[in-house]
Amino acid sequence: MKSRSYISIYFDDEVPLLEAVRILRDKKETIADVLSPFPVHGLDEALSIKRSRIPVGGFIFGALGAILAFGFQAWVFTVSYPLIIGGKPFFSVPTFIPITFEVTVLFAGLSMVAAFLIRSKLKPDIRFEPFDESVTDDRFVILVDASDEGNTLERVKSILSGINTLEIRK
């Protein structure tokens, strides 16, 4: 199996980074990854990354939580253990609302965290070796896939000649 090799392009600001991402994609270079110390506005659009589907999961689990909480209370207070509280009927919807609301929020919140962790393959014993420690501080890096034929390094250098890069290396 051929080992994968990358060209890394260093920046010290996000503005030239965004510009470089757009130009590279225009020239049909394959961008493997972009590393940045903080979320860059507009980077998702520039890389054509689809919007996260986590809110959908949040909605589904929230609805599930609402149904479960309401159903459980309805069952407990009418079938399993009916109690007269304050002279109210056994099935009194207003008393169920606060708990239904809380469980909805809990389910939606926890399910979104869980979905994020699973999709990002994050787990407690994860080993993470940073590509370059400076990207956790003040450097921005674009990784271009260089495993295809031809001299990618020269090509990338010529494409990005007009942009303020710090360093381009294999």
Are the C-beta atoms of residues 74 and 95 closer than 8 Å to each other? no
For helices 54-75 and 93-119, give the axis angle rounded to 10 degrees: 150
26, amino acid identity: D
Nearest residue to 140 via CA among 38, 46, 47:
38
- Residue 97 is a binding residue for other proteins (CB under 8 A): yes
In this structure, the number of other CB atoms found within 10 A of the CB of residue 146 comes to 20
For residues 4 and 41, which CB has a smaller minimum distance to other proteins in the complex?
A: 41
Q: What is the smallest separation between the CB atom of 63 and other proteins, expressed in angstroms?
A: 11
Q: What is the smallest separation between the CB atom of 51 and other proteins, expressed in angstroms?
A: 7
Q: Which of 95, 106, 153, 166 binds other proteins (CB under 8 A)?
A: 95
- Residue 116 is a binding residue for other proteins (CB under 8 A): no
- Residue 86 is a binding residue for other proteins (CB under 8 A): yes
Nearest residue to 144 via CA among 4, 16, 18:
4
Q: Which of 39, 94, 124, 150 binds other proteins (CB under 8 A)?
A: 94
> Interface residues with other proteins (CB under 8 A)?
41-42, 51, 55, 59, 86-88, 94-95, 97-98
